[in-house]
C-alpha cells in the first residue's frame, strides 16, 4: 500500500506536492473506494441473502421484486431509510444520539483493515492483527451504550446496558478461544496465521486437534454474542424492549445500525475463516499469473467466510432467544472454563507432538465428513416429503 503510493510519488503524478499531504489524501481516497465499492454492496447483499435464507427455512418466498431474485432489495431499503424523516427526540441527548451510530459503523469498518482477502489483498498486515480486531470490537460496545443512554428511554437504556454486559463478558471466551491458534502459530498477524495453515482441510486449524475444534465453535458462539445475533440478541429483544438501543432511531441512523450489524456478521465469518479454515489458502503451482491466483484466493476466502455467515442465518431462523441469566451462565460457567481447557490442552498437545499429530487431523476430517453426509441424507429425506417444487425452484 505505502510502496504503491511511494511509486506514484516517484513517478511524478502529484507534481511537487509534499508527501505528508499526499499520504492522508490517498488514504482517504482508498478508504472511500473500499467503503462505497466493497463494504456497502457486501452488506446489502448479506442482508438480502439473510432474508432469502430465512424465507426458505420458514417456507416463505422472501424479497424477490427488486432486481433479479431481489438482489437489489438492500438498495431499495437504503433509499427508503434515507428518504424518511430523521427524528431526534426532544428529551434525547442530541450530540451523543447523533454520534453513536457512526461509532458503531466505524467499529466494523475499522476491522476490515487487517482482514486478508488474498495473499496480496490486505490493507495493513499489523503485527498485532487479531488483538487489533478484539480492541475495535471492545470499543464499539461504547457506541451501543452511548445510543442507549442518549435516547433517554427506559427500553433503550436497558438494551444498551444489556449489550455492554454481553460484549464485556463474551470478550473473555472469545479471547481464550483464539489463544490456541496464536500458540500454534506464534504470531498475531492475520497473514501469518493463514500462512501457517494449508489449503487442505487436514492442514486447517479447525482439524488440528480436538482442542482447536472445540475452540473454533467456542469462538463462533462468543462472536455471535458479541455481535448481538440470535440467540443472543437480548439487547434488542422485541418482546421485552421494543427494539432495544435502536428504539428511538429512525431514517438514516437506523439504517446505519443495520449496516453495522450485518457488516460485523461478515467480519465474524471472515475472522473464523482466517483463524480456523485456512483463509485464502489454495493449491499452488497451477498458475503463474498473480492476478488469477489472487482472484482464486479471494473466491475461496469469500466462500469460507460466507459458510459461517450462512450458519449464523440458519441459527437465527431456527433458535429462540435465550434469557439474560442463561446468557451469563453460558459465558462464565461453560465457555470460559472450556477456553482454559482448550488453552492448556493445546499447549500439552504441542509438547507431545511439536510438529502436529499426523493421524488425528485426517480422522477428524473423515469424522466431520461422515456427520455431514448423515445430516444431508436426513435433510434430503425430509425435502422429498416436503414441497420440492418450492425448494428446488430458484426462480420463485
- DSSP for 265-313 reads HHHHHHHHHHHHS-TT----SS---HHHHHHHHHHHHHHHHHHHHHHHH
- What residues from 309 to 338 belong to the interface with other proteins (CB under 8 A)? none
Give the nearest distance from C-beta 315 to other proteins in angstroms. 26
Q: Which is nearer to other proteins, 219 or 308 (CB)?
A: 219
Q: Which is nearer to other proteins, 142 or 383 (CB)?
A: 142
Q: Which is nearer to other proteins, 41 or 337 (CB)?
A: 337
**How close are the terminal C-alpha atoms of the chain, in Å?**
44
- DSSP for 183-233 reads HHHS---HHHHHHTS-SSGGGSGGGT-HHHHHHHHHHHHHHHHHTT-TTS-
Number of residues that bind other proteins (CB under 8 A): 30
Give the nearest distance from C-beta 107 to other proteins in angstroms. 11
C-alpha to C-alpha distance for 194 and 272, rounded to whole angstroms: 11
Interaction of residue 96 with other proteins, rule CB under 8 A: yes
Give the nearest distance from C-beta 187 to other proteins in angstroms. 8
Q: Which is nearer to other proteins, 148 or 269 (CB)?
A: 148
Spatial CA neighbour of 77 closest among 258, 303, 240:
258
Q: Which is nearer to other proteins, 167 or 270 (CB)?
A: 167
Q: Which is nearer to other proteins, 149 or 306 (CB)?
A: 149
- What residues from 121 to 180 belong to the interface with other proteins (CB under 8 A)? 126-128, 131-132, 134-139, 141-142, 145-146, 148-149, 157, 160-161, 164-165, 167-168, 171
C-alpha to C-alpha distance for 308 and 327, rounded to whole angstroms: 21
Interaction of residue 339 with other proteins, rule CB under 8 A: no
Spatial CA neighbour of 278 closest among 180, 353, 205:
205
Q: Which chain residues interact with other proteins by CB under 8 A?
A: 20, 93, 96, 126-128, 131-132, 134-139, 141-142, 145-146, 148-149, 157, 160-161, 164-165, 167-168, 171, 187-188
Amino acid at each position: 500500500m505505502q510502496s504503491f503510493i511511494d511509486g506514484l510519488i516517484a513517478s511524478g503524478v502529484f507534481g511537487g506536492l509534499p508527501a505528508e499531504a499526499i499520504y492522508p489524501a490517498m488514504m482517504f481516497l482508498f478508504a472511500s473506494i473500499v467503503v462505497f465499492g466493497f463494504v456497502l454492496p457486501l452488506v446489502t447483499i448479506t442482508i438480502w441473502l439473510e432474508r432469502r435464507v430465512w424465507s426458505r427455512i420458514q417456507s416463505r418466498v422472501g424479497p424477490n421484486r427488486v432486481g433479479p431474485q431481489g438482489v437489489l432489495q438492500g438498495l431499495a431499503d437504503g433509499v427508503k431509510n434515507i428518504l424518511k424523516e430523521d427524528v431526534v427526540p426532544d428529551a434525547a441527548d442530541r450530540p451523543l444520539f447523533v454520534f453513536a451510530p457512526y461509532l458503531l459503523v466505524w467499529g466494523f469498518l475499522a476491522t476490515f483493515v487487517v482482514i486478508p482477502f488474498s495473499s496480496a489483498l490486505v490493507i495493513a498486515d499489523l503485527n498485532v492483527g487479531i488483538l487489533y480486531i478484539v480492541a475495535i470490537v471492545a470499543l464499539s460496545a461504547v457506541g451501543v451504550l452511548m445510543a442507549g443512554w442518549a435516547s433517554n428511554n427506559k427500553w433503550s437504556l436497558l438494551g444498551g446496558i444489556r449489550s455492554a454486559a454481553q460484549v464485556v463478558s463474551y470478550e473473555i471466551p472469545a479471547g481464550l478461544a483464539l489463544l490456541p491458534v496464536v500458540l500454534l502459530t506464534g504470531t498475531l498477524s492475520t497473514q501469518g496465521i493463514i500462512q501457517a495453515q494449508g489449503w487442505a482441510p487436514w492442514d486447517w486449524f479447525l482439524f488440528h486437534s480436538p482442542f482447536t475444534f472445540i475452540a473454533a465453535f467456542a469462538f463462533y458462539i462468543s462472536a455471535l454474542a458479541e455481535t448481538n445475533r440470535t440467540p443472543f440478541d437480548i439487547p434488542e429483544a422485541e418482546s421485552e424492549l421494543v427494539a432495544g438501543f435502536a428504539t428511538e432511531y429512525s431514517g438514516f441512523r437506523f439504517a446505519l445500525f443495520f449496516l453495522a450489524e450485518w457488516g460485523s456478521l461478515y467480519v465474524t465469518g471472515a475472522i473464523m475463516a482466517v483463524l480456523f479454515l485456512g483463509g485464502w489458502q489454495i493449491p499452488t503451482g497451477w498458475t503463474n499469473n498473480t492476478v488469477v491466483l489472487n482472484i482464486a484466493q479471494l473466491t475461496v476466502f469469500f466462500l469460507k467466510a460466507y459458510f459461517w455467515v450462512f450458519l449464523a442465518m440458519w441459527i437465527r431462523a431456527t433458535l429462540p432467544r435465550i434469557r439474560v441469566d442463561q446468557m451469563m451462565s453460558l459465558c462464565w460457567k461453560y465457555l470460559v472454563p472450556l477456553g482454559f481447557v482448550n488453552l492448556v490442552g493445546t499447549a500439552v498437545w504441542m509438547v507431545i507432538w511439536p510438529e502436529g499429530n499426523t493421524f488425528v487431523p485426517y480422522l477428524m476430517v473423515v469424522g466431520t465428513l461422515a456427520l455431514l453426509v448423515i445430516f444431508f441424507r436426513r435433510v434430503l429425506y425430509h425435502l422429498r416429503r416436503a414441497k420440492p417444487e418450492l425448494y428446488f425452484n430458484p426462480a420463485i
